[in-house]
């Protein structure tokens, strides 16, 4: 039986990096589904489209935005019309665009189908917002990874500082809260914890402790 792990949670909870480490330890693939919505956001902006115009975004998606993923040495590459956009999708602007376009039902439907197709083929750990609720409702293990707003904003600030970005803490905290609001209050499959997801609050845990906590949960489920 393939192992499927669904990991959801709000922005800045460290899902992607934690998921990468957990998947590596378990020797399974990690699919970062946020990257796919980011690629669509970037694709729309590249073409001068308006991310807040649902019709425009959906028309572009159907006509010319082809999102796919490939793996190189176990690492995910996100492709837009065959072009590797893995780096370009990591900006704050791409995150905001992803959050906007991910509200549209047609965008979600297309991405969910792609994600389910990838999961059919192998053991996988997927991280996102709707994995435990929609994409993999029968996942072997579901994790809801979160941390307090302040901790998430502090982590984001530290990442930005490393890149020489001096955005003030208050601004980052506001952005974190605005994104939470948008992701949790959209009409189509908003972010929420699946009833059977196990809550992991990483506010007081180090990176390694969080990875270990998740590995322990996976092991306990496997042993059942
Ligand atoms: O995890 P992330 O920050 O890369 O995700 C970017 C945006 O994409 C996020 O604000 C909401 C959206 N998203 C989603 O709606 N469903 C997912 N499964 C993953 C991301």
What the chain holds in terms of domains, given with CATH numbers, is 1-14+126-224 (3.40.50.300), 29-121 (3.40.50.300)
pLDDT in tens, 132-188: 999 999 999 999 999 999 999 999 999 889 989 999 999 999 999 998 998 899 888
**What residues have CB less than 8 Å from 136, skipping those under 6 apart?**
4, 6, 116, 119, 126, 142
103 Cα nearest atom in ligand 1: 15
Q: What is the DSSP string of 166-220?
A: ---HHHHHHHHHHHHHHHHH-SSS-----TTPEEEE-TT--HHHHHHHHHHHHHH
* pTM score: 0.92
The residue whose CA is least distant from atom 18 of ligand 1 is: 128
Maximum distance among all Cα pairs of the chain, rounded to whole angstroms = 52
Q: Which residues pair with 67 in a beta bridge?
A: 80
Query: 223 CA to middle of ligand 1, Å?
Result: 31
Query: 78 CA to middle of ligand 1, Å?
Result: 14
């Amino acid at each position: 039986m393939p192992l499927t792990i669904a990991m959801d949670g709000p922005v800045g909870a460290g899902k992607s990096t934690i998921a990468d480490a957990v998947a590596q330890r378990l020797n399974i693939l990690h699919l970062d589904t946020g990257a796919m919505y980011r690629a669509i956001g970037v694709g729309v902006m590249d073409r001068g489209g308006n991310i807040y115009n649902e019709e425009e975004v959906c028309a572009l998606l159907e006509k010319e935005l082809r999102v796919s993923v490939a793996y190189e040495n176990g690492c995910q590459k996100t492709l837009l019309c065959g072009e590797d956009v893995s780096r370009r999708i990591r900006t704050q602007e791409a995150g905001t665009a992803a959050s906007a376009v991910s509200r549209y039902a047609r965008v979600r439907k297309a991405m969910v189908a792609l994600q389910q197709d990838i999961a059919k083929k192998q053991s996988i750990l997927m991280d996102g917002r709707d994995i435990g609720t929609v994409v993999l409702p029968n996942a072997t293990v579901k994790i809801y990874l979160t941390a307090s707003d302040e901790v998430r904003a502090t982590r984001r600030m530290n990442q930005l500082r490393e890149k020489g970005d001096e955005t003030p803490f208050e601004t980052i905290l506001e952005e974190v809260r605005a994104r939470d609001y948008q992701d949790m209050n959209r009409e189509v499959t908003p972010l929420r914890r699946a009833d059977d997801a196990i809550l992991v609050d990483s506010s007081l845990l180090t990176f390694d402790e969080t990875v270990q906590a998740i590995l322990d949960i996976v092991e306990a489920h496997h042993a059942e």
